[in-house]
Chains A and B, each alone.
Chain A
Amino acid sequence: MSLYELQRCLFDYLRSMENATEGSPRPELSVEGYDLTDAERDALVEGDIAAIYAAGTHPVIVNGYCRAMGYKRADYRSLLETVKPDLEGKARWQKS
């Protein structure tokens, strides 16, 4: 259940940013009230993208969080350099 809580925390944070007044400082992410493990809480407090991703966070949420933190597309490879692509077998559209 805590993976859901981690994702809920990020989702609620992203929604709070959407509702923030334009030009106001970026709100702080709060982990209060979410049933998280210590590792999940640390990942959120530290904004550790690799740990958030490795925990199984939905990529749409990772995408929203990274955008909110100001990361660009070129940053993903370095942020997630420890992640191995999950590719198995040859797809039917691949010629080589």
Chain B
Amino acid sequence: MAEIVMAYSASHAPMMAADRESAPREQAASFFGALRQVRDRATNSEVQAVVMISGEHFTNFFLDNLPQIAIGLGEGHQGPLEKWLKIPKVIVPGEPGLASHIMEQTVSAGFQPALSYKMKADHGFMTVYYELDPLMRLPMVPIVLNCTTKPLMTLRQCYDFGKALGDAIRSYPGLDRVALCAAGGLSHFVGEPRVGDIDEEFDRWFVGQLEKADLGDLLDTPNDELMQAGNGTGEVRAWVAVAGAMHGHAGTTLAYEPIYEWINGMGVVVYEDSLPSTV
């Protein structure tokens, strides 16, 4: 059966690829240094595939048809779509066997994800995926969450989905070593007057919560309260799903930098199956 040999969550601000040099050098070094650590761990673990969760940006779905969760089952995923993103345009290999297994198992667990054999990977996936594998050969199972269009899943629902996702990955017989990644967040504001603000207080609180054994306070946060930290900040739903998949294991914050030039709180939190259980 597959093992989740590495799980992590990272911010996916488009500017980290579109205008990488605009960030203060020390902040960029801290953030990319953390992602480099993650890449090294993936290399050392000989990861065979990555399951990535990101928010929907109206790349795959629109208001005529918008699932809360969707899983990409295709043989490949076109990305990135944004012309201005400085990442080569490629077809990222898919992992249809694992994706289908996740689909079946999460439905059996009571969730109703949509499916797509033609999922595209926008900056939400590609910025973080490119840092994980610059050659972009690592097979990916993309999962999109609705993080911005009400009604939204609660954090507790995302956590529970993550638990089902983790169980699904660990029951897959076709691979041995899988990575799990959330891409999105931390705090940011999109298409509204506060664009450019970063809620540092929220960001530090949030990554601190992920390092705790008891996530109750975090999971009880109502959606409207979460929205106070920014209308783009709901992408942390993906981070909470990864925390659910890794329940029993505390996260470790490798980096947090409020990078105003990228209009985004930028963080990296990692989980390891080898860490002692916190429950």
Contacts and interface: CB of A to CB of B under 8 A. Distances in A.
B63 A7 contact: yes
Contact of A93 (B62, B83, B148, B206): B206
A83 B191 CA distance: 12
A95 B201 contact: yes
A91 B191 contact: no
Contacts of B149: 58
Interface stretch (B24-32, B107-115, B164-172, B224-232): B224-232
Given A59-B148, A76-B196, A93-B229, A18 B191 contact: no
Given A60-B148, A87-B228, A18 B192 contact: no
Contacts of A60: 57-58, 148, 190-191
B217 A76 contact: no
A93 B205 contact: yes
Contact of A66 (B58, B83, B191, B217): B191
Q: Which among B149, B195, B224 has the highest number of chain A CB atoms within 10 Å?
A: B195
A59 B190 CA distance: 6
Nearest to B217: A92
Given A91-B202, A92-B221, A59 B193 contact: no
Contact of A59 (B64, B191, B201, B205): B191
B87 interface: no
A76 B229 contact: no
A76 B202 contact: no
A18 B82 CA distance: 8
A93 B228 CA distance: 10
Nearest to B195: A76
Interface residues of A, number: 31
A31 B278 CA distance: 57
A80 B231 CA distance: 15
Nearest to B218: A92
A77 B192 CA distance: 8
Contacts of A22: 83
B210 to A, nearest CB: 13
A36 interface: no
A81 B193 CA distance: 7
B192 A83 contact: yes
Interface in B219-242: 221, 224-225, 228-229, 231-232
Contacts of A8: 62-64
B153 interface: no
B231 to A, nearest CB: 5
Interface string A1-40: 0001001100100000010001000000000000000000
Contacts of A77: 193, 195
Given A76-B195, A80-B192, 14 more contacts: A7-B63, A18-B81, A60-B57, A60-B191, A61-B58, A61-B191, A62-B191, A62-B192, A63-B191, A73-B195, A73-B196, A85-B194, A92-B205, A95-B201
12 contacts: A59-B232, A60-B57, A61-B58, A62-B191, A73-B263, A76-B191, A85-B193, A85-B194, A91-B202, A91-B228, A92-B221, A93-B205
